[in-house]
Every structure is written in C-alpha cells, then in structure tokens.
C-alpha cells in the first residue's frame, strides 16, 4: 500500500473557521502538489493494479497521509456507488463534503471520462444521485494509461464537440470543453447542470502507464 493511514475516521476539532472558498483553494493546491508525488511513487513501486477503483483507493489513502503530515483540516473519504468518488470533508465530526473528485482512466479501452452511464463530466451535469449538487467546484483526475496529455486533450474535446451537435437530453456547449489552466490544474471546464447552477471542474492528469 502506498498510503497506510486508517481513513474514514473523523476526529473532532473545535474550530474550523476558514471561509469555504479559501478551504477549497487549499484543497486544489494540495491536490496539484501531491499528485506528481503519487505518480512517481506509484511508478517506482510498480504496483500490479490497473483498475480505476483500486488506483483511486491508493490515491485516497495517500492524500490522507499527506494531509495529516501537513496538519490540514480536511480529509479524503472514498465513496462507492456506481463508481468510485473521493469526497473532501472538513476534519470535523458530521461535516458535509465541501469538494468532490471523480477519477477516470484515460485509455483506448475506456470512453467514460465525458459521457455514458458512469461518464465523469456527465455525472456532474446530471447531478446523478445528487452528485455534487451542493457544490460549485469539483475536480476530475485522469489516470493516463495510453498516449499522452495532448492526445487526450484533443480526444476529450472532440467527444464533447460530437455531443454538442447531437440531439441529447442534456445541453452540451463549448464551455464544456477543457481549456488549459496554467494556475492550479492541467485543464479546467465550466458546466451547466440540470439545476442550471454551473460547476467549475479542475482536471488533473497523471501518467500511470
């Protein structure tokens, strides 16, 4: 195991006074700084795991270990439904999630980063099972198992372009496309949801092939 911390256990803290927007900004910076370390260790250890959920479980544990070392007042909790999702909660008993991360493989055998029954972006847009309904920011982490960043950036935007011109039951637009983000993540995108409340997604990609 890359991470050894026992997770999904809350401890009570008496003060969690940071404004939510500042906390989310700290989460985004933390994810961006920690993912390259996870990528390096994962490749060095050469773990014999390739399934999306198994990788995400290791990543969730690793995030929690790093957050604990840095004395950060939030933790990463895994949730399995139709797919594995990582929820970020303040390190406080009973606290609601303030951020969520959807993880997807990027390989020629998998096409669900954007759409489908377990499609990453589509789940946010549909608010499937209240998927991130109360949030206005979230993230997606892509595990590149074939090709490279440039290939997948073009491929994903082409998939979205195809959805824009199709007659679908949810609206797709140019805003759904991934654009370069030079500040926090690799890419970001803006999505109108069925509630008509938009959500900004930050996309972080690591190479695990």
Distance CA 82, CA 153 (A): 25
- pLDDT tens per residue across span 161-203: 999 999 888 999 999 999 999 889 999 999 999 887 899 999 9
List of residues 6+ apart from 169 with CB closer than 8 A: none
- pLDDT tens per residue across span 62-119: 999 999 999 888 889 887 666 788 999 887 777 788 999 999 999 988 889 999 878 8
Flag whether pLDDT at 61 surpasses 60: yes
Sole residue written with tokens 């069925």: 194
139 close to 188: Cβ distance less than 8 angstroms: no
- pLDDT tens per residue across span 15-55: 344 455 578 999 999 999 999 999 999 999 887 888 899 99
E strands of the chain, at which residues? 74-80, 84-90, 99-106, 137-144, 179-180, 187-191, 199-207
Ordered by start, the domain boundaries in the chain are 20-207
Mean pLDDT over 111-133 rounds to 86
List of residues 6+ apart from 21 with CB closer than 8 A: none
């Amino acid at each position: 195991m890359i991470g050894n911390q026992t997770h999904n256990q809350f401890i009570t803290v008496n003060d969690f006074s940071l404004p939510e927007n500042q906390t989310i900004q700290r989460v985004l910076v933390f994810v961006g700084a920690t993912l390259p370390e996870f990528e390096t260790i994962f490749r060095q250890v050469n773990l014999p795991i390739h399934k999306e959920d198994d990788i995400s479980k290791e990543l969730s544990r690793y995030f929690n270990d790093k957050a604990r070392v840095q004395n950060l007042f939030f933790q990463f909790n895994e949730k399995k439904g139709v797919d594995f999702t990582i929820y970020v909660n303040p390190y406080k008993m009973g606290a609601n999630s303030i951020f969520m991360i959807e993880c997807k493989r990027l390989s020629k055998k998998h096409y669900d980063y954007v759409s489908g029954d377990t499609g990453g972006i589509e789940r946010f847009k549909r608010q499937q099972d209240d998927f991130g309904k109360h949030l206005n920011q979230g993230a997606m982490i892509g595990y590149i198992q074939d090709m490279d960043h440039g290939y997948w950036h073009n491929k994903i935007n082409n998939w979205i372009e195809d959805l824009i011109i199709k007659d679908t039951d949810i609206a797709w637009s140019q805003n759904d496309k991934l654009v370069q983000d030079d500040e926090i993540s690799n890419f970001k995108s803006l999505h109108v949801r069925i509630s008509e409340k938009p959500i900004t997604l930050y996309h972080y990609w690591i190479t695990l092939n």
